Structure 1
Amino acid sequence: MRATRLLPGIVLLVGALLAGCSSPTPGAPAPAAPVASTPADPPELALDGVDPCSLISAADRQAFGLTVPEPDESPIGFPICRWMRAEITFQLAMIFGANPPDFTNYSANHEVIRVDGYAALQMTQPGADPGESCILSIGVRPDQVVQVLVGDRFSSTYPSETAICEDAKRFAHAALAALQRG
């Protein structure tokens, strides 16, 4: 896969609402209505003015075995930062103003997940071999997405999509933790 195919192009913000109901204790009267509860959502994170290269510390770079960051810009002007580990690209992009329905047809191979409590879409590049790429588009605020891409140009390091996506999630965790610290 060429390095130019590694540019991100998807975003999906997903809202999820989980509800639980209480059940009566034997011998106790049943409540008049179910008691709903929702998990606490993580705080919204603003990406305005954030340099994606600043989100991965020197300690994180060392832990991942990454080169120095390479700042860039997407073809439509979103800030991007790339790091390399041999033939593997690690990339962060800050995406603004996208609407979730715009990206639902990007890949048939996608899954709605949560990353550090944030709704996210996990997918591979269209046409990628297993273990070649993982893209996480993480909704951190309405119309603002942190996008993580881990791409193995030769599909030689990761045995599966699961393995490469685990690295992408660890990388996303480092970036989200930096955003939360401010």
Structure 2
Amino acid sequence: MKAAHMLLGALLALPVLVSCTATSPAPKADGHVDEPLSVTTTPPPSLFPRPSEMPLDGVAPCSLLDEKQRGELSLDNPENEYVETSLAGARACSLRSNVSGNVVRLALVTGEGVLLWLDDYAQVEVETIAVVGFPALVVRTPGVEDVCNVEVDVARGQFLDVMFRDGGNSTPLAQDVLCQGARRAAEAAVTGLLQRK
């Protein structure tokens, strides 16, 4: 009886041993063996802590830039305030420049945090920067060269989205130039938010 229990225990353990020891790939018909793929993971960039909380609730997006700031950014057309459905219904303001032909959009995202841009599903390229002391991301979408976004982490679960795009210039601007414009606009908008505190 004792021998039968030992045999049963050995038989039950056998599949576990077989499954644990089968690590080498099987040879193909031509005799070659595929090497197992190595798995490498790149951690997403992390954001440094915010210097303070700067909630966007109750802020009008077109009030972020004063006349002087608009002049410095050559935004000389009347603003257009609307709801940006692609950003969870964020209140947004679009401003255009007759001088450069470029367009700036400021969107106040209050229903989601900036970390959504670091999710694998976002499928974008991000760079961590600081905008007037606040953590931010420069976001580029592969294959879309005529736009650049800067996403500023201003409060828990809220961020300022600044999009800078080529509005149809005869000579398209390089994306690096658009990203510089997005950073300048983001700095002006965050400065405007800080002046409200």
> Match of 1:175, SS?
helix
Question: Aligned partners of 1:92, 1:106: CA distance in 2, in Å?
Answer: 20
Q: 1:139 aligns with which of 134, 149, 153?
A: 153
Structure 1: give runs of 5+ residues left out of the alignment. Answer: 1-11, 18-40
Question: Aligned partners of 1:52, 1:142: CA distance in 2, in Å?
Answer: 18
> Match of 2:95, SS?
strand
Report Cα offsets for 1:107-164 as digits up to 9, x if no partner. 33221222112111111244212xx111011101111101100011447352x32221
| Corresponding pairs, count | 145
Q: Which has the higher contact order (CA 8 A, sep 6+)?
A: 1
| Residue 131 of structure 2 corresponds to residue 115 of structure 1 | yes
Question: Aligned partners of 2:71, 2:114: CA distance in 1, in Å?
Answer: 34
Counterpart in 2 of 1:16? 48
> Match of 2:55, SS?
coil
Q: Which has the larger radius of gyration?
A: 2
* Percent of aligned pairs with the same amino acid: 26
Q: 1:83 aligns with which of 81, 95, 104?
A: 95
Structure 2: give runs of 5+ residues left out of the alignment. Answer: 1-43
Change (3 A) 1:13 1:85: farther
More helix by share: 2
Question: Aligned partners of 1:58, 1:46: CA distance in 2, in Å?
Answer: 23
- Alignment root-mean-square deviation, CA: 2.3
Counterpart in 1 of 2:68? 59
Counterpart in 2 of 1:124? 140
Is the CA contact 1:140–1:146 (under 8 Å) kept in the aligned structure 2? yes
Question: Aligned partners of 2:162, 2:142: CA distance in 1, in Å?
Answer: 16
Is the CA contact 2:83–2:92 (under 8 Å) kept in the aligned structure 1? yes
